[in-house]
Structure 1
Amino acid sequence: MNIVRKDIRKEQDGGSCIEEDLNVLSLWPEVSPSPFCVEDKSNQDPTASVRVIHDLSYPDAISVNAVTGKSNIPPAEYEHCGVIAKQILHQSDLHPDTNVEILVGGVTLALRHLSIHSEYVHMLSDRLELDNALVIDHSAFFGCDIVIETDTSNNIVCVLERAAQPVLVHRFFSRELDHAARFLLDHANNFEINYRKLLARGLAVRAWGASWESSSGTDAGSRPIHIHFRIDSTSAVAWQNEMASRNPRTQVIIRLLGYWKVTYGFRFSSSHVAGAEDIIDDFGSRLTDPSHHFLLSKLTHGWSHVSPPIDSAGLEQI
């Protein structure tokens, strides 16, 4: 049971589900929870790692599978993996001056790009009887409007959006470099790495927030614009998703994110990304190395490179 709780907590921290008191079912009669099902992962210790899934075939006659209209479901087509190679070559022919990139990762990463319609999330819920909890999967990462990737070092912040292809690089000013150096020497100035990772998000929203709002095409009163951040720190992910931290500097960024949510009509979420997948922005945060500067320029050729209009001290003065 603890393994199941751990898996659900990971999804909750990543913004992929919400957890409510089971008693809310009396207020939400349309919610039809299914039981959790646990599958072993190949070559994994089942006491340490399992795959938690929905048992959508239970209960009989009224399960999600039972009431789903199958006439509108297109038949699955199974293709040889050579189709991927052909698609890569096809895209290379169409865009000879562009690097064709492949999204790598497990099934979980791929499924995050499949949208769950908001009108049907009530059908993808589960109950934890022992914890008196209701868990509802929703569209958090699924169907987000803008995906932002960030990385931070001791002297540089790099933020990028692959879809629109802007790159924001902020080289720390002397005061920020001094804060980072002093923190490494155990000075309690709160300029820690997880604050800097959240700072990257603050700089991104400050620089691009107005353009995201104007280009979204959403009307007043409609759904929020969903901005999703991918970051290689589970602590920074939790700080933003929970909108809470004991770090005074981080609290300023969190308050700003809350202000921008209301001002622009944004919805923020975050998920953890493995360092091996955090390639381009990782190069960007290490531009003091000439080889990384060259690789970033090559990987982002044709992208718009910008500097933030404000630094960390400027954010604190807003």
Structure 2
Amino acid sequence: SELARRSGLSLDQFVRVYRNQTSDDPRPTKDLFKLRLPADPSLRDLKRRWNSVGRDGVQPMWKNSKPQTQQTRQSNHQSMANHQQDVLHHIIKGQRDGRYLVVEADLLDRWTNIFLSPIGTVEKSGAANRVINDYSFPDGASVNEFTDRSNFPVITYDPPREIARRIFERRRRFPGHPILMMLGDVWGAFRHIPVQAEHVHMFTFRFENYIVVDLSCGFGWCGSPAFYSLAGSLINNLYESQKPCLGLSPLDPGACEGNVWCDDHTCALGLMWDTHDGSVSVPTEKISEARRQVMNILEATCGTLSVLNKLLGKLRYVSSCFPPARAFYQNIQVFAVGFKSPRMRRIPPDVREDLRWFSLVLTMDTKFNSIPVEHFARLEPPSRHVWMGASDTGVCVLEPQLRQFIRLKFSEAEKAVFATSKQANSINVRELMSAVLAILHWGPAWAATGRDRTHICMWIDNTSAVAWLAKRSSRHPTVRLYNRLISVSEFRYSLTCSAAHIAGEENVMADAGSRAWCEDHPLYAVWTNLSDAWTQVQTVPPFDNLSSLWATL
């Protein structure tokens, strides 16, 4: 600090001195060297961009709305009030690693272009609390708000199911042989991604009587994942260019296959992989903690951004293992992103229902143990096919392997409601209701036995219903209700449900079954002939009222 005062240098000039940047060697981080450009065009562009980062540092771009000086400086979040020692250790480590420049706070009067962002802490299992720079606060005047994202590198991301796919393929190709997996955590490498000296004034925070300048791409800045991915892609390419020792892999001497992640959370995955059995599990303590946090929020009826972010960190394991959960996870995440301040907010009804869905799934904790990798990666082909149709008079669902059908005729009162509220009770919604009835009635018969999981393909002649079932996402309240019922049953019975479109003219039997309720109907003979020797499954309480059914779960 005394050197900064006596030198009279601006912050960017002082940072260059601190980094030992010279005209002969302008590199911000001396551990980074220029990479030779390869012939491969895609890899050539990747390495060219990385060489630019190594030579000059990351060069953020800013919107015209960014003021020259910060108008209002925010206080740190209350979450760190009881974790001062953790924050201090974090700063000391960052300073020791060369990531942080720490100076006394009176230099704010000299370096007037500094933007201070608040910091907070979040719990991290098995370690000290993690310090987070909140570059998204305050709303409308944050570092992330002022960032121009047009020059960000494209993020490459291989989800956890790629590991499952790889294990499945190796087990199938080399049955009976041990499958080895090399794990590595390279998050520490990302502190070597420097920010150009002219821009470090935007990445600072205050702790007690000190100003901490982050010289690297820090967690919390919207551009960091893109530049982490740039480094991760290069590390992955280096790994994939190597071959395992012949003694370790005599049957498969080919090049290693890597996977790319953007942060240390996903690198570690938090999942338990068993390459011998070909399965993946979620640690029981993660499920228990997620269930506890969900119940706490439901009982409180309100929540803070900090509480929701902690919960989302736990629920991501559910969405990794069970893809239909992603739509409900995203609904909660959208609500969290909408927070304009750290204050408490009431949980809206639709988010509460999604949280209820998670609470139901999390009670079935044994379902998160020993999930076959082929099921985890959704590699199983359909083993059952179900056809369905809907009309203004009823719905019909067909299960050919059981030679059973479900038929539900609408009452006059229900048909009157359809006429007065077409959007809320459209034919699209009724088509999806057929899928709900199918999984509720036949789910126990389809339930997995041992390792084998049943993959049901639902054939629907309505494109909207196909999309709703495939993505499990919609703003329509009834559709969201139906998707919750489908997904919780799918999880309970260890099923995989997919959707496919069938042309209406080809969906003859299901269409006739949804319409031909009397002998004088033109399709009555078609239905009676095709359904001969089939058995009807009656829709009885509680399956006759799906809204009430969900409310009682």
Coarse TM-score class (shorter-chain normalised): 0.5 to 0.7
Q: Deviations over 1:179-236 (max 9, x none)?
A: 212234xxx5x111111000011111222222222xx5x12xx343211100011111
**Is the aligned partner of 1:249 residue 2:483?**
no
Q: Which amino acid aligns with 2:384?
A: I
**Conservation of the 8 A alpha-carbon contact between 1:199 and 1:312:** no
Q: How far did residue 301 of structure 1 move?
A: 0.9
Please point out which of 394, 399, 408 is paired with 1:161. Answer: 399
Q: Take 2:429 and 2:467, find their aligned partners in 1: how far apart are those partners?
A: 12
Give unmatched runs, 5+ long, in structure 1.
Answer: 1-20, 33-118, 120-136
Q: How far did residue 163 of structure 1 move?
A: 2.1
**Conservation of the 8 A alpha-carbon contact between 1:203 and 1:311:** no
Cα distance change on mapping 1:139 and 1:25 into 2, 3 Å: closer
**Conservation of the 8 A alpha-carbon contact between 1:155 and 1:180:** no
Q: Take 1:317 and 1:294, find their aligned partners in 2: how far apart are those partners?
A: 36
Aligned to 2:252: none
Higher relative contact order (CA 8 A, sep 6+): 1
Q: Deviations over 1:47-97 (max 9, x none)?
A: xxxxxxxxxxxxxxxxxxxxxxxxxxxxxxxxxxxxxxxxxxxxxxxxxxx
Q: Deviations over 1:146-196 (max 9, x none)?
A: 211000001110100122211111001334222212234xxx5x1111110
SS in 1 for 2:511: helix
Aligned to 2:535: 304
1:133-172 to 2 correspondences below 5 Å:
139=379, 142=381, 144-172=382-410
Give unmatched runs, 5+ long, in structure 2.
Answer: 1-154, 170-277, 279-376
Cα distance change on mapping 1:178 and 1:311 into 2, 3 Å: farther
Aligned to 2:415: 177
Aligned to 2:440: 206
RMSD between superposed Cα atoms in Å: 3.1
Cα distance change on mapping 1:199 and 1:30 into 2, 3 Å: closer
Please point out which of 278, 287, 291 is paired with 2:522. Answer: 291
Q: Take 2:463 and 2:419, find their aligned partners in 1: how far apart are those partners?
A: 23
Aligned to 1:24: 158
Q: Take 1:30 and 1:232, find their aligned partners in 2: how far apart are those partners?
A: 35
**Conservation of the 8 A alpha-carbon contact between 1:229 and 1:270:** yes
Please point out which of 503, 507, 512 is paired with 1:274. Answer: 503
Q: Which has the larger radius of gyration?
A: 2
Q: Take 2:469 and 2:388, find their aligned partners in 1: how far apart are those partners?
A: 13
Q: TM-score, normalised by structure 1?
A: 0.52
Q: Take 1:156 and 1:237, find their aligned partners in 2: how far apart are those partners?
A: 19
1:82-101 to 2 correspondences below 5 Å:
none
Q: Take 2:410 and 2:542, find their aligned partners in 1: how far apart are those partners?
A: 8
**Conservation of the 8 A alpha-carbon contact between 1:148 and 1:159:** yes
SS in 1 for 2:496: strand
Aligned to 2:431: 197
Query: Greater helix percent: which structure?
Result: 2
Identity rate, percent: 27
Aligned to 1:224: 453
SS in 1 for 2:532: coil
**Conservation of the 8 A alpha-carbon contact between 2:405 and 2:534:** yes
**Conservation of the 8 A alpha-carbon contact between 2:387 and 2:399:** yes
Q: Which amino acid aligns with 1:192?
A: S
Q: Take 2:512 and 2:547, find their aligned partners in 1: how far apart are those partners?
A: 27
SS in 2 for 1:309: coil
**Conservation of the 8 A alpha-carbon contact between 2:446 and 2:495:** no
Q: Which amino acid aligns with 2:393?
A: N
Cα distance change on mapping 1:156 and 1:301 into 2, 3 Å: same
Q: Which amino acid aligns with 1:242?
A: K
Q: Take 2:159 and 2:469, find their aligned partners in 1: how far apart are those partners?
A: 28
1:73-152 to 2 correspondences below 5 Å:
139=379, 142=381, 144-152=382-390
Q: How far did residue 270 of structure 1 move?
A: 0.3
Runs of 4+ in 1 over 6 A off after TM superposition: none
Cα distance change on mapping 1:238 and 1:311 into 2, 3 Å: farther
SS in 2 for 1:178: helix
Please point out which of 468, 471, 480 is paired with 1:239. Answer: 468
Cα distance change on mapping 1:25 and 1:298 into 2, 3 Å: closer
**Conservation of the 8 A alpha-carbon contact between 2:440 and 2:543:** no
Query: Greater strand percent: which structure?
Result: 1
**Conservation of the 8 A alpha-carbon contact between 2:472 and 2:483:** yes
SS in 1 for 2:158: helix
SS in 2 for 1:244: coil
Q: TM-score, normalised by structure 2?
A: 0.31
Q: Take 1:194 and 1:308, find their aligned partners in 2: how far apart are those partners?
A: 20
**Conservation of the 8 A alpha-carbon contact between 2:388 and 2:510:** yes
